[in-house]
Structure 1
Amino acid sequence: MIVYLARRLLLAASVLVATIVLTFGLFFTGPAKDAVAYQLCGTHCTTDVVKATNHRLGLDEPVINQFGTYLKGLVAGREIKSNGQVIGKCDAPCLGWSYIQSQSVTTMVKNALPVTLSIVFGSMLIFVPLGLLLGVVSGRNRGSPLDRVLVGTSQVISNVPYYAVALILNLYLIFQWHLLPGTQYVPISQDFGGWFKGFLGIWIIFGLFNAMLYVRFVRTFMINTLSQDYVRTARSKGISERKVVWGHALRATLAPYLTLLGLDIGLSLAGAIFTEQIFNVQGLGQLAIRSLGQSDLPVIAGTVLVGAVFIILANLIVDLLYVVVDPTVKLT
């Protein structure tokens, strides 16, 4: 188990290092190396002004020196200087400095991240068990009217873009019929009740939509598992159908289900853009969109790196959970 864990941690660490190198290379070298200078003086800057701005900010140093400073900031933080004078402090992990906003990217991410985390992990409490339950029920009752209703509903919803479904449900369930409370962000540390109420509508809408996306996948996994030899053997031994389905088949279904969850959760954390836009809450997705509009490359790079970290962590957790839910996985 220790060797298995060490290998997975080493793999995750190597992917993270590669992501850091690629992020720095894409956003701070090559054609993007003068982006900060153009942010500060406009697109009509002369070459001399761009060079002077880069020199003032220390952005004309060798790439290896800049990358070393970037890595140091991630580990220990760093001071941001202009003409040798300190203009700001970026605490570790320093994701960069927004010269447009005059603040560290880390601070901006810290302010936006709780919103995105609240959306994704709150809705998980709905779509993870609900998607699994409906998929198992559908697979267990293959060909029945209930199965056709569940599969048909999931097909209709999955073929409609999420933003359209979320927008319609938001307009009717929250604004028109007032069946769900309005959305707003209240820090959980200040008012738990206000935080819960402010996200309840998002959780239900986002959770129901995602649950429908998983129904057909889980149904397929369940049908395939129920046709396996060991399941037929368990039935021939007189084991109750409930125990066969929920004790044997469900456990085998969990492994591929976790794979889907790991990918989707990581991607949802990396870019909950539509949800935040539709429900008017300022999270990581909104921060990325604003930064794109302002061509604020340090912030864009910071959000990309944070999103990549969440995807890496989600896949690492899934790898470790495999051992728990699927005893056939070898610890190698």
Structure 2
Amino acid sequence: MLVYILRRLLMTLSVMLAAVTFTFAIFFLGPNDPAGNLCTRNCTPARIAEIEKSMGLDKPVPQQYAEYMKGLATGRTITSGGFEKKCDAPCLGWSWVQDRPVKDMVFQALPVTLSIVVGGTVVYTIFGLLFGVVAARNRGNWLDRTIVGITQFVPSVPYYILALLFYLYFMVLNPILPRAQYTSPFENPWSWFVGLIGVWMIYGLIQATSYVRYVRASMIDNLSGDFVRTARSKGLSERKVLISHALRAAMAPFMTLVGLNIAADLSGAVFTERIFNLKGMGDLAIRSFDQQDLQVISGVVLVGALFVSIGNLVVDLLYGVVDPRVKLS
């Protein structure tokens, strides 16, 4: 078990190193002009050269990469407008548009996005498993056909349209649910819950439709397995057979799917944040894109890659817990 954990940790670290290198190459070595993008009007060559020097773009590429990596580990000193400013570790860069560390901007927006994704994941996990099991248990009857029909219809409508309609009819015209707002759970947990419950419901229920049919198919396959027939022959109740054997066996592939979709959940939060006016990482990335602030965009991409890697690591470590057939070694 310990060897498996160490191997997974090393693999996660290698993925993160690759993500850092890839992010640096795309945003700072690609076919773009960071200094020219920041200075688009009435910019003299001297002013562009000054910006390039402040961003370190006048140095050799290996030296730029070394300073970039050093900033992530120990921090670095940024020269902006003739003044030296401290960028503490992990230094994700400096926003030349807002003249502040990228880390402060990203870490201010990160809790909002994590709250949306984590809360939505809890909702679609619960409803995806629940309706998937119900459909499999009632295979072929009207309840099964109704559930499968809904899961086929809902994804055919773009998510942003459903979210806009939900926001309009349930939060504006008929305020059944409170307007979405973010409050830190460490300051006021109840306000945090109430402010995001509507967002979690629409986001989680729509996402659950993608998992119901997967769980249903997996449950149907497991219910016809030898280990389920053996459990029934031992006289176990149908409920215990369904939950402790068939569902537990179906959890491992379900968790794999959830882990793979973490990146999609993070990117999908862009629409949610825009529609419900939540200042998360997606909203920050869109605003930074409009302002040509590549430092902030690269910081968002890097932090997003970090959480995708961590999410996949957690899923891998949970395999042995949910499925006894999996041996972590």
The interval holding the TM-score normalised by the smaller chain is over 0.9
Counterpart residue number, 1:260: 257
Counterpart of 1:295 in structure 2: which amino acid? Q
2-structure distance, mates of 1:216, 1:282? 33
Shift of 1:198: 1.2
Decide which of 107, 111, 117 is 1:120's aligned counterpart.
117
1-structure distance, mates of 2:190, 2:327? 44
Decide which of 240, 243, 250 is 1:243's aligned counterpart.
240
Counterpart residue number, 2:271: 274
Decide which of 124, 129, 132 is 1:132's aligned counterpart.
129
Q: Which moved more, 1:298-307 or 1:39-48?
A: 39-48
Counterpart of 2:67 in structure 1: which amino acid? T
**In the alignment, structure 1 residue 103 sits paired with structure 2 residue 83:** no
Counterpart residue number, 1:14: 14
TM-score by length of 2: 0.94
Decide which of 155, 160, 163 is 1:163's aligned counterpart.
160
Shift of 1:211: 1.9
2-structure distance, mates of 1:57, 1:222? 55
Q: Match of 1:53, SS?
A: helix
TM-score by length of 1: 0.93
Decide which of 311, 314, 326 is 1:314's aligned counterpart.
311
1-structure distance, mates of 2:58, 2:64? 9
2-structure distance, mates of 1:189, 1:233? 48
Residue deviations 1:127-164 (CA, integer Å, cap 9, x gap): 21121111011111110111111111111112211111
Shift of 1:14: 0.5
Q: Could you list the runs of 5+ residues in structure 1 that have no partner in the other structure?
A: none
Q: Could you tell me the percent identity over the aligned residues? A: 53
Q: Which moved more, 1:298-307 or 1:157-166?
A: 157-166
Kept in 1: contact 2:273–2:282 (CA 8 A): yes
Counterpart of 1:203 in structure 2: which amino acid? W
Counterpart residue number, 1:53: 51
Decide which of 136, 150, 154 is 1:153's aligned counterpart.
150
Structure-to-structure mapping, 1:24-35, within 5 angstroms: 24-32=24-32, 34-35=33-34
Q: Match of 1:272, SS?
A: helix
Kept in 1: contact 2:54–2:78 (CA 8 A): no
Decide which of 67, 85, 100 is 1:69's aligned counterpart.
67
Aligned length: 329
Counterpart residue number, 2:187: 190
Shift of 1:48: 5.5
Shift of 1:197: 1.7
2-structure distance, mates of 1:97, 1:290? 16
Counterpart of 1:15 in structure 2: which amino acid? V
Q: Match of 2:261, SS?
A: helix
Q: Could you list the runs of 5+ residues in structure 2 that have no partner in the other structure?
A: none
Counterpart of 1:97 in structure 2: which amino acid? W
**In the alignment, structure 1 residue 211 sits paired with structure 2 residue 204:** no
Counterpart of 1:21 in structure 2: which amino acid? T
Shift of 1:230: 1.7
Kept in 1: contact 2:38–2:292 (CA 8 A): no
